[in-house]
Amino acid sequence: MSLSEIKKGIITKSIGGIYNVEAPGGMFECKARGIFRKNEIAPCCGDAVKIEGDDNQGYVITEIFERANYIIRPPLANLNQLIFVVSTCEPQPNFLLLDKFIAICEYKNIKPVIVITKVDLNETDEITSIYKKTGIDIIIVNNTTGEGSSKVFDILKGKTSAFTGNSGVGKSTLLNNILPELELETNEISKKLGRGKHTTRHVELFRLENGLKTVVTSPIPRDFQPLKQTSTMLFLKRI
């Protein structure tokens, strides 16, 4: 790739001002043009970008294509759907957060999906009775047996999706059931605090079966603040 050549790609990881961009020809480690900072625009995971450079001089992101939508923190772009994972108990469902999540999804033109976990510990009626009339897709999953996991996997096809919800609801376990090769860390609920610990610490896109997908692990989007002990996971798929 010469300095005069430009390629289009997708940002798969961002750490400390260094961006991994998957583009024709492979994965490229890039920096962003200074003009982005001047204009108070930062590239982020999910962004479609143009890159320029070579192996000797390095690679530079020269353009960020228009975003379909954008979440502030963690910075994520071009989502098709946000999947809110809520448990029947341990921790108890937070309906205020869920309502806010749905409202923001509608505002940003992102499809909301509800996944209910820990169905082996409590009934799902309280959650389903509230939201089944809204037209929002609701998927019931047993993380212990894996039942329902395939339905979650099916809705990821061809979409850019983010998983979010309170820590301890079973997001990492759910994703490990869907895609065992991820081997995401999981923690048990604290009996004293009634919630889980953070098990994810960065934003990254992984190449998996049937194309490009991503797992993002970071605090819940600022759009959904203020809440503590929450986390977000992103899946990105291109087929």
- Kindly list the distances between the CA atom of residue 194 and the CA atoms of 6, 92, 164, 229, in Å, as whole numbers in the listed order: 51, 8, 18, 11
pLDDT band for 194, please (50, 70, 90 cuts): very low
C-alpha distances in angstroms, 221 versus 16, 62, 225, 229, 232? 19, 26, 7, 12, 7
Could you give all domains of the chain from N- to C-terminal order, each with its CATH number?
6-64 (2.40.50.140), 70-236 (3.40.50.300)
Strand partners, 123: none
Range with the poorest average pLDDT among 8-12, 126-130, 172-176, 205-209: 205-209
> Residue 21 pLDDT more than 50?
yes
Pairing of strands 137-140, 111-117: parallel
Residue 162 has pLDDT above 60, yes or no: yes
**pLDDT of the residue at 153:** 86
Q: What is the pLDDT of residue 200?
A: 46
CA distance 18 to 45: 11
**How confident is the prediction for the chain on average, in pLDDT?**
80
- Global model pTM greater than 0.85: no
Q: How far is CA 7 from CA 23, 74, 205, in A?
A: 7, 26, 19
- Once rounded to an integer, what is the mean pLDDT over residues 20-47? 91
Residue % of the chain over a pLDDT of 90: 38
Give the pLDDT score at 90.
85
pLDDT beyond 90 at 156: no
- pLDDT, position 171: 84
Closest C-alpha among 31, 37, 224 to residue 232: 224
Stretch 105-124: mean pLDDT: 93
